Amino acid sequence: MKAEQRKDLINLLRKVIYELTGNYYPEERMKILEYKVERLIKDLNLNVSSPEEIVSYFRASPEREKTLIDLMTVPETRFFREKEQLDILFEEVIKDISTLSIASVGCSTGQEPYTLAMIMEKKGISGKIIGMDINVKVLEEARKGVYKSEEIKDIPPDYRDFVYLKDSVMCIKDKIKKRVDFYQANLIRKEDFMPFSGNFGIVFCRNVLIYFDSDSKRIALENLALIMKKKGILVLSSTEILSRELQILFETFKKGKFFFYRKRKNL
Ligand SMILES: C[S@@+](CC[C@H](N)C(=O)[O-])C[C@H]1O[C@@H](n2cnc3c(N)ncnc32)[C@H](O)[C@@H]1O
């Protein structure tokens, strides 16, 4: 494919990915997109000549769209990510709570929801966690609860009882796995969130909306507010700040050095 056609292809796929997932590739991340598209075409051994043909190929069925989504989303995660923020949440924001329902939206391969399950188990808090993600492949991995043995280093020593090492992998123990369910949901599709309307006291959505533009971010935040209980708390990554216009959905408060977001009373 000629350089010009390649450029057209990348631009067309950028649009398709945005429509399907809300993830927007800005100019500075276009190189990553190019690399991923090249890999995908090679892996699928696609014998097509024009950019339009490639795009039609992917749009031909939900299964093919899924292939595109699975490759284009960024799955990076780890256990006890931003532990200090988690400590402040559980020790200062919601202290003395005995039961809790949490959603971890954009949960990737499950490290975040399992971390939350471990914390709840250790603190004697009852309730379940639902991990949601658009990417079917990462959800399959999450359900297994099996990780590289090196990941044990991310788990603080006093939580290592919740996992065990077997051969060269690290497995999550059943009592933690039982507390977590996984569900496929697309942040920009209200239909996916309707069944959970008003369900969760806390919703995590960390390191997900950084890949969205302002329109898709607003839709996603409306869906997150929808699944939250009255006065529920939204947790974003500490590097993400809600813009002013989105504060009609949430009021911001600060604990320690972290910002949290409470669903507004009138919603
Ligand atoms: C960088 S990971 C963040 C994982 C975890 N929350 C953390 O902070 O470690 C981003 C995840 O968001 C998911 N994601 C991206 N777009 C999404 C969408 N429209 N709906 C639901 N999940 C989405 C990706 O598939 C990916 O697994």
| Domain range list for the chain | 3-72, 83-145+173-263
Ligand 1 mean position, distance from CA 199 (Å): 20
Q: pLDDT of 171-192, one tens digit each?
A: 999 999 999 999 999 999 999 9
Tokens of 20: 């399907």
- Mean pLDDT for the stretch of residues 111-117: 98
Q: pLDDT of 158-170, one tens digit each?
A: 999 999 999 999 9
- Mean pLDDT for the stretch of residues 86-101: 95
- Write down the architecture of domain 83-145+173-263 according to CATH: 3-Layer(aba) Sandwich (3.40)
Whether 241 shows a pLDDT value over 90: the answer reads: no
Ligand 1 mean position, distance from CA 221 (Å): 14
Q: Is the dihedral of CA 246, 119, 124, 177 positive or negative?
A: positive
pLDDT at 195: 97
- Mean pLDDT for the stretch of residues 92-109: 96
Residue minimizing CA distance to atom 16 of ligand 1: 21
Which amino acid belongs to residue 202?
I
Whether 47 shows a pLDDT value over 90: the answer reads: no
pLDDT at 46: 78
pLDDT band at 267 (very low <50, low <70, confident <90, very high): confident
Phi-psi domain of 100 (left: phi exceeds 0; alpha: psi -120 through 50; beta: other): beta
